[in-house]
Chain A
Amino acid sequence: MGVIYVLLTISILVAIVFFIAFVFSIKNGQYDDVYTPSIRMLFEDELVKEGKEKSSAPPKTKQS
């Protein structure tokens, strides 16, 4: 029944990998500003091209 040790090791290793990923994400400052990225992802190629009609209605975002 040594397989339980293998499974345990794997499951804990996977958990630890995610935990380390979490620690690094904090360290990189990903949790310092949790608001701006949510708005930023809504902007894309909204630059109005010369001579072109107004592009399709861009998303109206509510200010908070």
Chain B
Amino acid sequence: MATSTCFHCGNDCEKTVVNFDHKTFCCNGCKTVYEIFSSNDLSCYYDLQSTPGAIPKEIEGKYDYLDNPDIIEKLIEFSDQNVHVVTLYIPHIHCSSCIWILENLNKLHSSISTSQVNFPKKTVRVTFDTSQTTLKEVVILLNSIGYEPYISLDDYTKSTQHINRSLFYKLGVAGFAFGNVMFLSFPEYFEVSEFWLEQYKYVFRWLMFAFSIPVVFYAAQEYLVSAYKGLRNKILNIDVPIALGILVLFIRSTIEILFDLGTGFFDSLTGLVFFLLLGKFFQQKTYTFLSFERDYKSYFPIAVTRISSNQNLEENIQVYEIKQGDRLLIRNEELIPVDSILINGNAQIDYSFVTGESEPVSKQSGDKLFAGGKQLNGAIEIEALKSVEQSYLTQLWSNDVFKKDKTTSFTNLTDMVSQYFTLIIFCIAIIATGYWLFVDASKAINVFTAVLIIACPCALALARPFALGNVLRFFGKHKFYLKNADVIEQMANADTILFDKTGTITVNKKNNIEYHGQPLSYNEEALLKNALRASNHPLSRSLYDTLAEHEIMTLDEYQEYIGSGIEAKHAENSIKIGSTNFAGKPNSEKQLNTSVHISTNNNYRGHFIFYNQYRKGFEKLFKTLSNTYNVSVISGDNEGEKSYLQRILPNPTSLLFNQKPKDKLSYIKNLQENNQNVIMIGDGLNDAGALAQSNVGIAISENVNVFSPACDAIMDASVFEKITDYLSISKRTIRVIKSSFILSFFYNAIGLYFAVTGQLSPIIAAILMPLSSISIVIYVTVFTNFLSLKLYHKKNGDIEKP
């Protein structure tokens, strides 16, 4: 077997293969999980889905804060004496095996009574007995089987969220009334004047009236309120003609049955509201496992370890309790929660998420550290300079952009059309009424109400939600998750696209490494590789991975100098790896690219340059985009990559470097003041302001389940090169909607003919209104499906499973 994959997690077993029970594992962690499962009769886990697992992480001390009763109290959902219920978010949940194993937790730990998975939300709700176990033990158990819960500051501050189910209720009320009213109005459709029917039609009519009351005043409430608000702000939105139609239908029908003039239009009324709500329901696709409203809180840890100055005691405190002057212990891979000063330890801080700098920076004791950086190399001790809210990073969130609701400042297509539509309908109604006043005054009021009823733009109102809802789902299937349907329209309107650099067009944690200088001999390279093996520095790790395999040798001497480099000796040869000065480069000019210099036996040999690795297909993407859009790259990183980008990107691309988060925000604001519609594509916290300010903020993420800043859309990094497809699909969708408006006007014209000639009977209304709605819905659904599928497959050749 040349390459074997791990039975547990499916990764390639590269360096070390662990064989156990006739199966191969990539590491001991995976083997241990397998052992746990097989010894508890749970090996079925591997039958449901092959290689479903994840490598369990090192957690030493990480969850100690779960001993703190205050924190436990905030996380626990329900507690009653010995029984606690907690809901934990587990990003790894992805398949049926995950559901199965997590719902069988009680087989692994006797004090867990039940556990229930919510797959769309990726949460597990665990009920456990506190007399036998603790929350910490439950979390550690989950971690030991590779399902690490994600607990962040967000969990601490959020209040119990109320789930809004009102749309379900409204849909239920409208559907219930619609069905019953249709049933009751059926006899009168055929206008059979039987003695039997004549006698009971009043009962039927008043029952219909009773059914339609909750529809008008409860189910259709939103439309009435929205129309009222629109009118008060002097905007004729789409809800104005809808509300008008609903009210006129209800009032006219009531008057008709009151004075025994006819049956009324209760069937059309309830049907109309039901279809409208159905459209709303369809448009409302939510990705419950994603959050589009995240701020620093969901990125930050919930607790840190504080070292008490007097007795050197370690205690876990909540992040908000950090005071100026507190000594904090930051472990490997932990976040720095506040602006602070490094006291001791070997700090390698990865700021890529916060500032956009691509390489981790080394710090020495006494240096200032900013909140949001991630420590990569062992534990460090820091002293807090500020509290959490006052730190540099968190202050970005006090900008007004984050308080503004984007949707209010945007008039969508239907509302725009509806402004003219409503005016025209009013004109027609008045002219027709005027005409009938002269010809047959008794019919005038009938004609006036008939026009308003038939003109009720339900087809118009349904076209957009169904078309956009459909495309929203299509995007979701292809790993592009939108916050709501308006985003599609905004995307279609955009003319400027800004890209962040680090993590957006480049791949994090991956480098193109090139060697410049005198070639190294085989022995020198072996020594280099072995020296690097001992180092934990991120640059050493990535350089180590690119070098060819060499046999392992024991180093005679090894010394790591923090902030400068490493020195190693084997037999007669010594090697120095590190910064320019450390390796002793003769004439050192300033270099912007990250580089590692090598000298052997005190002779300078050369250096490795770390270039950013760009995403696949990004050149082609920029070329295509620059034909139709203004494209720019706006980065927080230095200009090291500028010449390279200038060379490969098409000419009009503007490149901006050294941009602070606030600079990015104001740059977008400037563009918008020049009437440009901006799409910002970014990934880190440093883009958060820009993403909020732009018309459409798209966050790129390698793993959509982990943190991404507040945005309008989240895109999986694997579909990055397909951005052009998504943009053109949105443009075409808008075109489909526009064409469906023409169809809807055609129906309205037919209806208006009946209305102005005074022939609108309940049965015509009952046929025409649902017919127009349904045919419009079918039209837009079929066309958007067809368009997006065609475009997607033509471009990509392959047929992906939805």
Query: In the complex, what distance in Å separates the CA atom of A47 from the CA atom of B104?
Result: 10
Whether A40 pairs with B99 at a CB distance below 8 angstroms is yes
Q: What are the residues of chain A within 8 A of B47 when measuring CB–CB?
A: 46, 54, 57-58
A29 to chain B, nearest CB (A): 7
Known A-B contacts A12-B207, A36-B117, A61-B96; the reply to A31 vs B168 at CB < 8 A is yes
Query: In the complex, what distance in Å separates the CA atom of A50 from the CA atom of B43?
Result: 11
B106 to chain A, nearest CB (A): 12
Q: State which residues 1-54 of A face B: CB under 8 Å.
A: 1, 4-5, 8, 12, 15, 19, 22-23, 26-27, 29, 31-33, 35-36, 39-40, 42-43, 46-50, 54
Which of B41, B42, B119 makes the CB contact (< 8 A) with A39?
Answer: B119
Asked if B196 is an interface residue, CB under 8 A from chain A, the answer is yes
Q: What are the residues of chain A within 8 A of B95 when measuring CB–CB?
A: 61, 63
Whether A35 pairs with B48 at a CB distance below 8 angstroms is no
Query: In the complex, what distance in Å separates the CA atom of A40 from the CA atom of B97?
Result: 10
Asked if B94 is an interface residue, CB under 8 A from chain A, the answer is yes
Which of A15, A31, A46, A61 makes the CB contact (< 8 A) with B176?
Answer: A15
Whether B48 pairs with A61 at a CB distance below 8 angstroms is yes
Asked if B163 is an interface residue, CB under 8 A from chain A, the answer is yes
Whether A23 pairs with B48 at a CB distance below 8 angstroms is no
Asked if B345 is an interface residue, CB under 8 A from chain A, the answer is no
Give the size of the chain A interface in residues (CB under 8 angstroms). 34
Query: In the complex, what distance in Å separates the CA atom of A19 from the CA atom of B117?
Result: 28
Q: What are the residues of chain B within 8 A of A22 when measuring CB–CB?
A: 172, 176
Give the size of the chain B interface in residues (CB under 8 angstroms). 33
B267 to chain A, nearest CB (A): 16
B354 to chain A, nearest CB (A): 34
Asked if B44 is an interface residue, CB under 8 A from chain A, the answer is yes
Please give me the residue from chain A that is nearest to B52 by CB atom: A63
Whether B169 pairs with A19 at a CB distance below 8 angstroms is no
Asked if B121 is an interface residue, CB under 8 A from chain A, the answer is yes
Asked if B180 is an interface residue, CB under 8 A from chain A, the answer is yes
Q: What are the residues of chain A within 8 A of B169 when measuring CB–CB?
A: 23, 26
Asked if B745 is an interface residue, CB under 8 A from chain A, the answer is no
Q: When A and B form their complex, what is the total count of cross-chain residue pairs whose Cβ atoms lie within 8 Å? A: 83
Please give me the residue from chain A that is nearest to B120 by CB atom: A35
Q: What are the residues of chain B within 8 A of A35 when measuring CB–CB?
A: 119-120
Please give me the residue from chain A that is nearest to B123 by CB atom: A33
Whether A48 pairs with B41 at a CB distance below 8 angstroms is yes
Contact bitstring B727-770, A, C-beta under 8 A = 1, else 0: 00000000000000000000000000000000000000000000
Query: In the complex, what distance in Å separates the CA atom of A11 from the CA atom of B165?
Result: 28
Please give me the residue from chain B that is nearest to A29 by CB atom: B163
Please give me the residue from chain B that is nearest to A32 by CB atom: B163
Known A-B contacts A33-B119, A36-B120, A63-B94; the reply to A58 vs B172 at CB < 8 A is no
Most buried by B among A23, A29, A59: A23
Q: What are the residues of chain A within 8 A of B188 when measuring CB–CB?
A: none
Please give me the residue from chain A that is nearest to B172 by CB atom: A22
Query: In the complex, what distance in Å separates the CA atom of A57 from the CA atom of B176?
Result: 44
Please give me the residue from chain A that is nearest to B93 by CB atom: A36
Q: What are the residues of chain A within 8 A of B49 when measuring CB–CB?
A: 60-61, 63
Q: What are the residues of chain A within 8 A of B103 when measuring CB–CB?
A: 40, 43
Whether B48 pairs with A8 at a CB distance below 8 angstroms is no
Query: In the complex, what distance in Å separates the CA atom of A5 from the CA atom of B48?
Result: 56
Whether A49 pairs with B41 at a CB distance below 8 angstroms is yes
Asked if B118 is an interface residue, CB under 8 A from chain A, the answer is yes
Asked if B100 is an interface residue, CB under 8 A from chain A, the answer is yes
Query: In the complex, what distance in Å separates the CA atom of A46 from the CA atom of B100?
Result: 10
B566 to chain A, nearest CB (A): 44
B671 to chain A, nearest CB (A): 39
Query: In the complex, what distance in Å separates the CA atom of A23 from the CA atom of B121?
Result: 23
Query: In the complex, what distance in Å separates the CA atom of A15 from the CA atom of B199?
Result: 24
Whether B44 pairs with A42 at a CB distance below 8 angstroms is no
Known A-B contacts A47-B44, A58-B47; the reply to A26 vs B121 at CB < 8 A is no
Which of B44, B94, B99 makes the CB contact (< 8 A) with A48?
Answer: B44
Asked if B192 is an interface residue, CB under 8 A from chain A, the answer is no
Asked if B200 is an interface residue, CB under 8 A from chain A, the answer is yes
Asked if B548 is an interface residue, CB under 8 A from chain A, the answer is no
Q: Which 8 A-B residue pairs are closest in the complex by CB-CB distance? A: A61-B96, A36-B119, A63-B95, A46-B44, A33-B118, A26-B168, A19-B176, A47-B41
Taking A29-B163, A61-B96 as known contacts, 9 extra A-B pairs with beta carbons closer than 8 A to each other, sorted by chain A number, are A8-B203, A12-B180, A26-B165, A26-B169, A46-B44, A47-B44, A48-B43, A58-B48, A61-B48
Footprint of A on B, CB under 8 Å?
Answer: 41-44, 47-49, 94-96, 99-100, 103-104, 107, 117-121, 163, 165, 168-169, 172, 176, 179-180, 196, 199-200, 203, 207
Sampled A-B contacts (8; CB under 8 Å)? A1-B200, A15-B180, A26-B168, A40-B99, A43-B100, A47-B107, A61-B49, A63-B49
Footprint of B on A, CB under 8 Å?
Answer: 1, 4-5, 8, 12, 15, 19, 22-23, 26-27, 29, 31-33, 35-36, 39-40, 42-43, 46-50, 54-55, 57-61, 63
